[in-house]
Chains A and B, each alone.
Chain A
Amino acid sequence: MRKVSAFNILAIVLGIAFLYLPIVILVIYSFNASRLVAVWGGWSTQWYAELAGDAEILQAAFISLRVALVSASAATVLGTLAAVALVRLGRFRGRLLFASMIYAPLVMPEVITGLSMLLLFVAFAVDRGFWTVIIAHTTMAMCFVTVIVQSRLVDFDMSLEEAAMDLGASPLRTFLSVTLPLIVPAIAAAWMLAFALSLDDLVIASFTTGPGATTLPIRIYSAVRLGVKPEINAVCSIFVGVVGVAVLAASLLAKISGARGTPARL
């Protein structure tokens, strides 16, 4: 019954084209044999080859991956706990402060959160490096995780938990065998978001990193401040490719698992 007007279709198509065009152009230029953007020198993979030999960038990528893995996992655990607390604990003393601390970082400019964390580490004479970046990323991502898991928990049918307890499952068993399996998709999505946020972060990492813990975005940033660089185009294209494949795979996976046993909405 939904009529999709021509205007609507145009809006969607234009919007999506706008979103993807710059990336497509970037990828095309990563294959440009000529160094200059103005000149099209033919198709070439030389920049990718140069990239493979660039030890600094490769190391930065490796560090970024490790930071992202650890901070995403930590953020998911903390964020899920926070979401459970917010939804299940009703009113408790300090709830307003807790909720504010969770939602504020979502909208606060990263310069401020980055700055504040750096000052914290300095004030307590903590050596900055790999672990300080992880702590900072965990804190930042935790809030996103909480929002995602919380919205799933709010929709959660409490009578399922009551039924489980009624049938003899202790509260812990109930959480593990009924609640958790049903919110796992939200937790997985939150993990992926935390991972992407960490991998991508420039500002907070810049503030909280130290020697030997240069992340990929920092490398890229210092390279491009002075202008466009073809090797950077190659790095970016690879990144985009990997992310694109991952996201498509994840959504296909979500579709398949969603088709089997979605919660019966009574």
Chain B
Amino acid sequence: MKNQPGSLWQRFTLAFPYAWLVAFFLVPFLIVLKISFSQGAIALPPYRPVLDLTAGWRGIEMFLAGLSLDNYRLLGSDSLYLLSYLKSLQIAAFSTLILLIIGYPIAYGMARTPRRLQAVLVVLVMLPFWTSFLIRIYAWMNILQRDGPLNELLMALHVVSTPPVWLATDTAIYIGIVYSYLPFMVLPLYAVLEKLDESLLEAAADLGCPRWKTFWLVTIPLSSPGVLAGVLLCLIPIVGEFVIPDLLGGSRAPMIGQTIWMEFFGNKDWPAASAVAVVLVCLLVTPIVLFQHLAMRSEERS
């Protein structure tokens, strides 16, 4: 079927989702871009200029004249935004590292269990993912409260004498992120480790390699596609996280997702929010494009 010339069927198959994505993904993003060059206004919609196509060419001229870089200047001048970006990147990088360190042994352990059990383990790991994200974060709110079970446990074990404050701290954010994104790190790693050819490890052992060295020289490099996938699946969304820092963290030093939300719903400054979003996308696009490129190359190789 692949070699038959583009039939009507095939074009139809493509046209429908293509059109949908252009309309509801590409165009909205272009609109965000446009509004990032606009100014706020007390009006409906709350930004100027608005493209009035009925005014013809004059309308377009007026539209282009009304665009400005004010919002981007604002981003550059107010350190709030810079700090927000940096904090988001820092939290994302650090938590991804933690996820990798915690997730790898879990994935490795899963891959080494007998095949029959593996399916069960996969379901077990996926099950929390199916329950609501919001609920699971809320569950942590329960636990991390000042008089919640975690502090009760710590007090009972005499680890601390007064209940520490967990909520509204960065630590809580880390806990929430690691907790929520663990399946996203474990599953790609597991998928790659599970396919690992046992005979390669046996060959290494046969050639005199001790187990830890085999792990370092053979297993880890071969699992690198899984590591890459896991890292990207976690790092990029974490940068723009909103729910976790909002519920578990404070608003003193917001992450970029919170900043966008606040600008939009709080200050009702749509153009500023758009500008923040555009810069964020530019930051994130680089790893996405990189991943696409690598994925296509490995597809061609196989």
Binding site for B on A (CB under 8 A): 1-5, 7-9, 11-12, 15-16, 18-20, 22-23, 25-26, 29, 36-38, 78-79, 81-82, 84-85, 88-90, 92, 94, 98-113, 115-117, 119-120, 122-123, 135-136, 138-139, 142, 146, 158, 161, 165, 171-172, 174, 196, 199-200, 202-203, 207, 217, 220-221, 224-225, 227-228, 232-233, 236, 239-240, 243-244, 246-248, 251, 255
Contacts and interface: CB of A to CB of B under 8 A. Distances in A.
B227 interface: no
A221 B131 CA distance: 15
A115 B264 contact: yes
B94 interface: no
Interface in B113-168: 113-114, 119, 121, 123-128, 130-136, 138-143, 145, 147-149, 152
A104 B124 CA distance: 28
A236 B138 contact: yes
B292 A247 contact: no
Nearest to B145: A37
Given A119-B270, A224-B247, A19 B128 contact: yes
A73 B203 CA distance: 49
Interface of B: 1-2, 4, 6-7, 9-10, 13-14, 16-18, 20-22, 24-29, 31-32, 35, 45, 102, 105-106, 108-110, 112-114, 119, 121, 123-128, 130-136, 138-143, 145, 147-149, 152, 179, 182-183, 186, 198, 232-233, 236-237, 239-243, 246-247, 257, 260-261, 264, 270, 273-274, 277, 280-281, 284, 288, 292
B237 A107 contact: yes
- Looking at chain A's contact residues, the main secondary structure is helix
- Looking at chain B's contact residues, the main secondary structure is helix
Contact of A232 (B20, B127, B138, B284): B138
Nearest to A196: B130
Given A15-B106, A228-B141, 16 more contacts: A26-B142, A85-B13, A88-B1, A100-B288, A103-B288, A109-B237, A109-B257, A116-B25, A117-B24, A119-B28, A119-B274, A196-B130, A202-B133, A228-B145, A239-B132, A247-B126
B31 A220 contact: no
Given A112-B277, A171-B9, A244-B127, A22 B179 contact: yes
A239 B10 contact: no
B136 A22 contact: yes
A111 B292 CA distance: 22
Nearest to B183: A19
A93 to B, nearest CB: 11
B240 A243 contact: no
Nearest to A36: B147
A78 to B, nearest CB: 5
Given A20-B128, A115-B260, A225-B247, A12 B240 contact: no
Given A107-B232, A120-B28, A98 B106 contact: no
A161 B243 contact: no
B273 A101 contact: no
Given A37-B148, A111-B277, A224 B141 contact: yes
Nearest to A112: B277
B105 A11 contact: yes
B139 A244 contact: no
Contact of B134 (A3, A29, A196, A202): A202
Given A105-B25, A112-B277, A239-B135, A122 B13 contact: no
Contacts of A240: 131-132, 135
Given A3-B112, A109-B257, A247-B127, A139 B24 contact: yes
A239 B131 contact: yes
24 contacts: A1-B198, A8-B108, A15-B106, A15-B182, A18-B182, A25-B149, A37-B142, A37-B147, A78-B17, A79-B17, A81-B13, A99-B292, A101-B26, A115-B260, A115-B264, A115-B274, A119-B32, A135-B24, A138-B20, A220-B138, A221-B134, A243-B130, A246-B130, A251-B123
